[in-house]
Structure 1
Amino acid sequence: MESKLIRSCSIWRALEVVGDYPTLLILEVSWLGGKRFDGFRRRTGLLKASLSNRLRRLVEAGLMEKVQYCESPPRFEYIMTEKGQGLYWVALMLLRWERRWQAPGKIVVELTHKNCGKVFDPLPACGSCNGEIDPKEVDWCEGPGLGMMVPLYSRRRRSKDAERKSISLMDQAAQIMGDRWASLILRSIYTGINRFDDILTDTAMATNILSERLVWLEEIGMIRPKQYNTHPPRYEYRLKSKGVDYYHALVMLLKWGDTYYVAPEGPPLLLSHKVCGGDLNPQVICSECREPIQARAVTYKISGLDDVATTAGLPD
């Protein structure tokens, strides 16, 4: 039987690594200063076997390094590598989206930029003009690395009860990115592919999976169906405002994927900013001083989370 082919895409390659809700929970704990197995388990609510499996994958993918800190008995810490820290802008966009679109909860996060000393909001900005990115003002064209590839999807299930014991700062945002199928559907819609059969071809996912994820994305307010044919009824899927705003998280994931998983020929997708006419080169900047945000230049003040320090951040 002939294999289905999909567009090569840095988002697809990146999702093979981080398109998993438990993995995103672990990375979040690491951003908050977690390093040890028991701490990861307590904060994520993952079972030991599931946590061990995800930590092993993160080490194999080069996002974390397993470092021994005690010889007898042997004990290890998991330290985020430079590659792992490259996902920081993705994490900030997930947190930004969560704060904008989810009902206020008991957990409040305040970010302070050490460089300017001010509490700030992370803003998605064009690397050419420093203007805030509006998804409607972004053009795209095929890049030198565009091609067709056989999708080798690893088996994953949507996160269920064990993982729902966790308390995440970016819960629904991480659920969406942690569900690779949902993210691939959004990727298709962002690039103008919005009819069922066309999305099916673009993602090569099973029909039942596509139907299920479209229903879920509609239920959580990301998309809306619009009928374009009566007999038989056919629909195309349009983004709602909540879905449009999620673009910033995926565009930062695209940038990370282009950095670590791009083809030798170059990126498969080129983005430009209509406002300035330059390359988009997305970045996350401080709302106060307009400088690019680096992980070690941010501290977090968190209230409502008992087992995380009042202030936290990566060491200088």
Structure 2
Amino acid sequence: MHGDNLIRTCSIWRALEVVGDTPTLLILEAGWLGARRFDVLRRRTGLLKALLSDRLKRLVESGMLEKRLYETSPPRHEYVLTRKGRDVYWTSLMLLRWEQRWADRAGKIGVILTHKPCGKTFEPTPACGACNETIDATVVDWKPGPGVGLMAPLYSRRRQQRDSSEDATSLFDEAARIMGDRWASLIMRSIFTGINRFDDIRRDTAIATNILSERLAWLTSIGAIRQVQYATSPPRYEYKLRRKGVDYYPALLMLMKWGDTYYCSPEGPPLLLTHKACGQPLDPQVICSECRKPIRPDEVEFEIVEGDERDAA
């Protein structure tokens, strides 16, 4: 057992320190849709100027965006995704997949994706890199890796809700609210790894008791988890995934892959995954649902549509 001020070493935690923030996710989404300049980013995200400036600065400092001069008089800049920024694409696709399956999209924009190599509209699909089969949380085993250990969490202060205008739009609004709240994502990480009782989750995440209670109640209210009583005197509960929660797993899985790439400890990844069906180490991929080939950002065309149009399509 470890002290309350330490948490289990986690590539997800390190990744969330960079992208686990709703405004940041909105900026990255806008970047994928082609927005580069400040005014366009502001219109696309609906973020207030000061908040947008702050997050753009952080993304440049973290190596996710490159700030480029495109006009000298007066000086004007645009923000271009780096290789590190582009590598978050699979995580974004899994957020989009979850949003399209589970969130209320009434009155919101949607997107139709076309995979250029096969020419078909598709749903981004999580798959095992070894056998190409579709994966979810129920078919993955895990064990501690060489980089497992304890770390002191970094608690940078950020708003829980985004500051935005009334007409702001997002392709993965509800999904971004989960990943944009790092406490909620860490709770989901714990439950995915078999830690589902209140005190155990608190020890695993170092989340303050009142914050943990609030986030568990919120995740329950949106249908991601459910509360199950396991003792009566006094009443005690554990938290189990509902199907909506199980379906969020690929987003965290791709985030972990990205975190292992850019924020892994020198000893190696903290977690080793195995695909039960083929028995091979899991190298998660995002593939086209139609041709089953891995998805590359430059091989995807997108069409922005209103929610009703997307449903009709």
The question of a shared fold, defined as TM-score above 0.5 by the shorter chain, is answered with: yes
Give the alignment of 1:115-194 within 5 angstroms: 115-160=117-162, 162=164, 165-194=167-196
Cα contact 1:124–1:132 (8 A) shared by 2: yes
Residue of structure 2 equivalent to 1:64: 65
- Alpha-carbon distance in structure 2 between the residues aligned to 1:53 and 1:108: 27
- Alpha-carbon distance in structure 2 between the residues aligned to 1:176 and 1:164: 20
Write the letter of the residue equivalent to 1:186.
M
Give the alignment of 1:221-236 within 5 angstroms: 221-236=223-238
Residue of structure 1 equivalent to 2:301: 299
- Alpha-carbon distance in structure 2 between the residues aligned to 1:216 and 1:46: 24
* Alignment coverage as a number of residue pairs: 304
In 2 relative to 1, CA 5–78 (structure 1 residues): closer, same or farther, beyond 3 Å? same
1:212 to 214, 228, 233: 214
- Alpha-carbon distance in structure 2 between the residues aligned to 1:304 and 1:36: 24
Alignment of 1:199 onto 2:229: no
- Alpha-carbon distance in structure 2 between the residues aligned to 1:253 and 1:161: 24
- Alpha-carbon distance in structure 2 between the residues aligned to 1:291 and 1:163: 38
In 2 relative to 1, CA 164–125 (structure 1 residues): closer, same or farther, beyond 3 Å? farther
SS in 1 for 2:219: helix
Residue of structure 1 equivalent to 2:292: 290
Residue of structure 1 equivalent to 2:7: 6
Residue of structure 2 equivalent to 1:95: 96
Task: Please report the TM-score for the alignment, with normalisation by the length of structure 1.
Answer: 0.94
SS in 2 for 1:167: coil
Residue of structure 1 equivalent to 2:239: 237
SS in 2 for 1:300: strand
Cα drift, residue 304 of structure 1: 2.5
Cα drift, residue 160 of structure 1: 4.5
In 2 relative to 1, CA 3–138 (structure 1 residues): closer, same or farther, beyond 3 Å? closer
Structure 1 range deviating more: 60-69 or 100-109: 100-109
Residue of structure 2 equivalent to 1:270: 272
- Alpha-carbon distance in structure 2 between the residues aligned to 1:130 and 1:49: 44
Write the letter of the residue equivalent to 2:76.
R
Write the letter of the residue equivalent to 1:203.
T
Residue of structure 1 equivalent to 2:311: none
- Alpha-carbon distance in structure 2 between the residues aligned to 1:247 and 1:169: 18
Cα contact 1:44–1:165 (8 A) shared by 2: no
SS in 2 for 1:56: helix
Cα drift, residue 231 of structure 1: 1.9
SS in 1 for 2:304: strand
Structure 2 segments unaligned to the other structure (5+ residues):
308-313
Structure 1 segments unaligned to the other structure (5+ residues):
306-316
Write the letter of the residue equivalent to 1:133.
I
- Alpha-carbon distance in structure 1 between the residues aligned to 2:226 and 2:110: 30
Deviations 1:276-312 (A, max 9, x none): 000110000011111100001001011129xxxxxxx
Cα contact 2:136–2:249 (8 A) shared by 1: no
Cα drift, residue 218 of structure 1: 0.6
Residue of structure 2 equivalent to 1:51: 52
- Alpha-carbon distance in structure 2 between the residues aligned to 1:247 and 1:41: 30
Write the letter of the residue equivalent to 2:93.
L
